Every structure is written in C-alpha cells, then in structure tokens.
Amino acid sequence: MLRASVAAESAGIPSATLVCESFMTLAKAASQGLGYPNIAVAPVRGHPGLQSKEELQRNVRELTLDGVLDALFKMPAAKTLGGEPGPRDVICSGSFEEVNDYFLQHEYSDGLPVVPPTVEKVEAFLKHTDRGPDEVLGVLLPDNRAATVWSVAVNGVMAGCRPEYMPVLVAAVEAMADHAYGVEHSGNTPGGETLMVLNGPVIKALGFNYTQGVMRDGFQANTTVGRFWRLYLRNVAGFLPHKNDKATFGNTWRVVVAENEEVAAKIGWPSHCTEFGFRPGANVVSVARYTGGNHISSVSGATPEELLPYIADAVLRQYSWQIMFTVGQGYDTVRPLLLLSPIIAETIAAGGWSKQRFKEELFKAARMTAFEFERILRDWTQKPTWNLKEEHEAGRIPAVFHESDDPQRLVPLVWRPEDFHVVVTGDLGRNSIYVFAHNGVLGFPVGKEIRFPESAGGANE
C-alpha cells in the first residue's frame, strides 16, 4: 500500500497508509527505498484478524484514528535519503576476519563467511562476460536500486562462485528483474523461497550436479550460485530480515537444481527450458518462488497408471491457501513444480506416455471437491472471491471449474495441463519425487537465456 500512498503524495494528494505495529520497520525501510523517507503512516495495534469487533474499534479510536489525522493534516518532518558508497569505492580493508566482521555488522552478509570482493577478484569475473560493468540489468524493488553487471560480479565473489559462473549469474539477475517474477514480493508473509533450475550444456561445462543429492549442499556450482541469489536479494534489492524481509518462518532452497538432460532426451521428453519458449538444448536459468515442498519416497508401480495416484496425491497435499492464485488474487498463476527421479520418468515414458500426456493425466487426477476448494478460499483465506459458479458465469475462469452444481464435483488446481512444470533430476536409482507448492503471482516462473562471451565459442551452443 505504500506504493499507492507514494503515487498519491507525488500527485499532491495527502495520504495515510495503515500499518500494523509489527510492520513499522518494514514501512520505514520500504518508504526509504521508494524515495519518500518521511511519508506518514498510521499504526494499527496488534493483528486485526485476531481481534474481536469491540477490540478493533477500541484500538482504532485510541491509536489509528490519530495517526490517520496526523498523516492527512500535519506536514511530516523533513528527512533526507542516506547516501551509499559508489560501486568502486573501497568500503573497508583489513584481514579476512576484519572484512567479514564489517560485512556482518553492516548487514552485507548472510551470516556465513564471505569472500572479500577485492577489485582484482571482481575484475576476474568481468572477463567472463561481454556486458559492460556499468550496464543496468534492471531496477530492483524494494530499494529501487539498479542491478548492474559490476554488482553481480561483487556478489558472485562474495558467494564463493568461480569467475566462469558469471554468465549464469547475469542471467539469474535478469530473471530477478523481470516484472513477471515480482521481486518485490520476496519478503512477504508466506516466506516463499526462490528455486533456480538450470538447463543446457552449461550444466556439464561448469560442473553442476544433476544426479544424486541434486538439492544438497556440497557441489560448488550448485551451492554458490544458489547462495549468490540470496546475497543479491539482500545487498542490491534490499531485503533484510526484520526489515523488508517479513517472512513469518521463511524457507531456504539455496542450491541450484540442474536437470538431467541425458535421461530426458533418452525418453523423448523436452527439457524444462521449453516451458519458457526456449529450444531444447539452450542454456537457460529459470526461477520461481515456492512456499513449501515435500519429498515422496518409494513411489511404486510398473506402469504410469500405477504411479499416477501417488504423484497426484502428493501434489494435492501441498495445496491449500495457494489456490487463491488459481481463483481470486492471482487468476491462473499457480505453476506447481515436480522433480521426478530418472527411474520414475523412465517408467512413465516406458508406458507410452509423453511428458505432455503425463501432464494431462495429472491434470485430471490432482483434484479436490468444489466444496473444499470454495471453503478454503472463503473460510480459510477469507477471500471475497470464492464462488466458482459465479466466477465461471462471469467469464473469469474456465468451464472445468463449473461443470455442474454438484458441490462434490472434482475441480483442478490449475487451469490447464501445461501449468504443471516437470523436471527430471536426482538419484538415478531411487523411485522418488519432490513436489513444490508454487507462490503464484508472488513469484511467477521466469526463464532467461545464459549468454557466454563471444570468446567462449561453443559455450552458447
């Protein structure tokens, strides 16, 4: 709401944004990033959703009303934006320990030791891209800071990346800056975390793990590139815990997941990058934000028909409030992600199912009753949009959500089979899957091509 308030103030219209007391530090940090450090807000005591009508009325009279009146009728005290160092300024010097202490104290670190980003180390990264160091890849909220190639290199050094990872890091930041992804939602209440998926020859060229333990720390490429994402969110976008990052609990998927393209090609399934319109074999990094996930072991069966009930049940169990991104807050923006171990994908393909056929069967199987779907939207998420019949008759959702008036009819999680994203990866000998619940429009999937410098020759092929 602060962005709406800033728009009003910019037009010369006084505004008052209501902010819960526990979000005051967030409001202060966000207003700084929006360029209005002195914007007035009205405090709201406690959490409105947990107060009786009488308590809420009393708190509004005693606290919030005065804040609204002050915001509308009193000129706020003048404040200026704090300056920050230039991109090539040396902000500290000293031993490894002294640099790390400084970075911790100034919130540049994620709590783990960082590699001090000396000018020499940063310049070594820049040799692995044709992009100019001052080129702006986008402007990132909430701090409205330019994402430059130079800052990508700086944070890549800090994360422990190798210089040759630079093209991957640049593509990742381009994805972060894409409006469809919505970086501004990175610190929201559900604490959804971004998972990066990698495709193309770059996987082998740079040594990314794509088999056993694919989501486990311990492989430099997967681990450090994943760490880079979180550092860049902190140091450039401006997401800091207890300030702009207000995740209730938070999640952590720091490790890049690389697809096993050998297995995918062997069974005739297109790689994940094709979900974003890229050709099979392209070097692509894709990102999306997920609110949770679950590993399903021992998915047993000799045919796709026998495997499907396990998989559909696992997908369905991950979803509750997130269906508001199917109907309501973010129409048609749920994109569940499934990681299939190679043996599972091979068994499905051996039964004659293409990747598209698998998605079509999953679309028909992963369903809940219309009664439950509406109940979750109406009662659990307290959304005004919940009646599937009304939404269909208004032309806002497909007919599949209202094929009859029977409350026990089954309705899907997504609008179409293609909305399921499927990646083949993990242990070659384990019959397991991993299901991620997607955060919808608050982290919509985006893919970007990884471009190597011309001097790299075949690396772009």
Tell me the two tokens of residue 127: 């040799």
**The pLDDT value given to residue 79:** 62
Q: What is the mean pLDDT of residues 250-270?
A: 93
Specify the DSSP class assigned to residue 236.
I
Q: Which percentage of the chain shows pLDDT scores above 70?
A: 88
**CB-based contacts of 9, cutoff 8 Å, min separation 6:** 15, 36, 39
**The pLDDT value given to residue 410:** 98
Taking the C-alpha atoms of residue 28 and residue 38, their distance in angstroms, rounded to an integer, is: 8
Residue 33 has pLDDT above 70, yes or no: no
Residue 324 has pLDDT above 70, yes or no: yes
pLDDT in tens, 91-123: 999 999 999 999 999 999 999 999 999 999 999
Residue 356's identity, in one-letter code, is Q
In contact, 312 and 395? CB cutoff 8 Å: no
The pTM score is 0.87
In contact, 223 and 110? CB cutoff 8 Å: no
**The pLDDT value given to residue 15:** 77
Residue among 366, 375, 215, 187 nearest 294 (CA): 215
In contact, 272 and 418? CB cutoff 8 Å: no
**The pLDDT value given to residue 186:** 92
Range in 43-52, 179-188, 196-205, 442-451 the model is least confident about: 43-52
**The pLDDT value given to residue 383:** 86
Tell me the two tokens of residue 238: 């401006």
**The pLDDT value given to residue 452:** 95
**The pLDDT value given to residue 106:** 94
**The pLDDT value given to residue 340:** 98
In contact, 419 and 400? CB cutoff 8 Å: no
Question: Which whole-number Å values give the CA distances from 329 to 159, 377, 399, in the listed order?
Answer: 35, 10, 19
Q: What is the mean pLDDT of residues 50-76?
A: 71
**The pLDDT value given to residue 151:** 98
Residue 3 has pLDDT above 60, yes or no: yes
**The pLDDT value given to residue 57:** 72
pLDDT in tens, 364-402: 999 999 999 999 999 988 889 999 999 999 999 999 999
DSSP letters spanning 26-71: HHHHHHHHTT-TT--EEEE-S-GGGS-HHHHHHHIIIIIHHHHHHH
Mean pLDDT rounded to a whole number for the chain = 90
Interstrand relation of 284-296 and 446-449 (parallel, antiparallel or unpaired): antiparallel
Residue 459 has pLDDT above 60, yes or no: no
- Angle (deg, nearest 10), helices 149-159 and 220-232: 130
Q: Which residue has the tokens 């090609």?
A: 265
Q: What is the mean pLDDT of residues 411-421?
A: 98
Taking the C-alpha atoms of residue 410 and residue 273, their distance in angstroms, rounded to an integer, is: 31
Q: What is the mean pLDDT of residues 210-225?
A: 96
Taking the C-alpha atoms of residue 276 and residue 174, their distance in angstroms, rounded to an integer, is: 14
When comparing pLDDT for 249 and 458, which is higher?
A: 249
Residue 49 has pLDDT above 70, yes or no: no
Sign of the Cα torsion 161, 164, 170, 172 reads negative
Q: What is the mean pLDDT of residues 423-445?
A: 96
**CB-based contacts of 461, cutoff 8 Å, min separation 6:** 201, 281
Taking the C-alpha atoms of residue 28 and residue 143, their distance in angstroms, rounded to an integer, is: 11
In contact, 116 and 94? CB cutoff 8 Å: no
SS3 of residue 20 by DSSP: strand
Interstrand relation of 41-44 and 17-20 (parallel, antiparallel or unpaired): parallel
Confidence of residue 43 (pLDDT cuts 50, 70, 90): confident
**The pLDDT value given to residue 271:** 97
**The pLDDT value given to residue 141:** 92
Question: Which whole-number Å values give the CA distances from 444 to 55, 174, 316, in the listed order?
Answer: 38, 14, 19
Range in 51-55, 133-137, 153-157 the model is least confident about: 51-55
C-alpha gyration radius of the chain: 24
**The pLDDT value given to residue 71:** 65
**The pLDDT value given to residue 78:** 62
Burial class (CB in 10 A: 0-12, 13-18, 19+), 291: buried
Residue 158 has pLDDT above 70, yes or no: yes
Alpha carbon 224 to its chain centroid, in Å, reads 18
When comparing pLDDT for 435 and 1, which is higher?
A: 435
Taking the C-alpha atoms of residue 335 and residue 443, their distance in angstroms, rounded to an integer, is: 10
Alpha carbon 165 to its chain centroid, in Å, reads 21
Instruction: Give the long-range contacts of residues 301-305, CB within 8 A, separation 24 or more.
Output: 301/347, 302/347, 303/347, 303/351, 304/347, 304/348, 304/351, 304/352, 304/353, 304/358, 304/361, 305/351
